[in-house]
Amino acid sequence: MLQATPIVFIVDDDISVRESLELLIQTAGWQTQVFSSAEEFLACPRASVPSCLVSDVNLPDLNGLELQRRMAGDRIHMPIIFITGFGDIPMTVQAMKAGAIEFLTKPFGDEVILDAIRNAIQRSRAALGREAEMHDLRECYASLTPREQEVMALVVSGMLNKQVGDELDISEITVKAHRGKVMNKMKADSLPDLVNMASRLRLPRPQRADSKATR
């Protein structure tokens, strides 16, 4: 997925702009998909490869800034490069605050837009890589049994094996066995590695019971 040829989506109601950008981008080695309106673009499936959007701001019906707002839900890994024949500072500020990586005023040089696209594709590839890593991490965690999840939570909180055993009313040997399975299933090389995984998964901190008061 990450090694597939990136796609540059182009949205502009001016056919001459669409065609010139399409030729330039394809010559640079990327795939392209072109649309004359924001609605057409939003109707296409979400890209599963590194990608970016080059869009005019002043589009008919649904403008570029509204398109940007709608993309915030399911296309967060697709950077946006805005182009416009006439823009103003408030419009530029609004677009950049909402996450656009470039706001280019026509006419612009070929290398200017190509550099912006290279940067956008790099960001998209990195974001998709992080998403894939999190997906794998969640799958590893889901493979743990409920008891193994309990042991993991207590271990990453700083408890020693004996303390974990006391907390769960199991032997230290059993804790060690569960801990070994946790390390194996999570593909963790060390305890700090496991702690980092728990942090990325945002696991809740275990509520330690007062064993003397509750047992």
pLDDT in tens, 147-187: 999 999 999 999 999 999 999 999 999 999 999 999 999 99
Q: What is the pLDDT of residue 1?
A: 55
Same domain, 84 and 30: yes
Model confidence, pTM:
0.76
Q: How large a percentage of the chain has pLDDT more than 90?
A: 69
Q: What is the pLDDT of residue 213?
A: 41
What digits encode the pLDDT tens for the residues 81-120? 999 887 666 777 788 887 789 989 888 999 999 999 999 9
What are the Cα distances from residue 27, in Å, to 2, 7, 15, 52, 172? 21, 13, 18, 16, 64
Of 56-60, 64-68, 96-100, 101-105, give the lowest mean pLDDT range. 96-100
How many CA atoms within 13 Å lie on the side-chain side of 136?
10
The answer to whether the beta carbons of residues 55 and 80 sit under 8 Å apart is yes
The answer to whether the beta carbons of residues 30 and 8 sit under 8 Å apart is yes
Q: Is there a domain that residue 64 lies in?
A: yes
Same domain, 113 and 161: no
Structural domain of residue 110, as residue ranges?
A: 7-131
- Asked, as a colleague might, if the bond just before 204 is cis with ω within 30 of 0, I would say no
Same domain, 109 and 171: no
Average pLDDT value for residue range 2-8:
84
Number of domains in the chain: 2
**Domain end marker among 100, 131, 162:** 131
The average confidence (pLDDT) of the chain is 90
Domain at 30, CATH number: 3.40.50.2300
Residue 215 has pLDDT above 60, yes or no: no
Q: Which of 48, 42, 53, 62 is nearest to 8 (CA)?
A: 53
Q: Is there a domain that residue 159 lies in?
A: yes
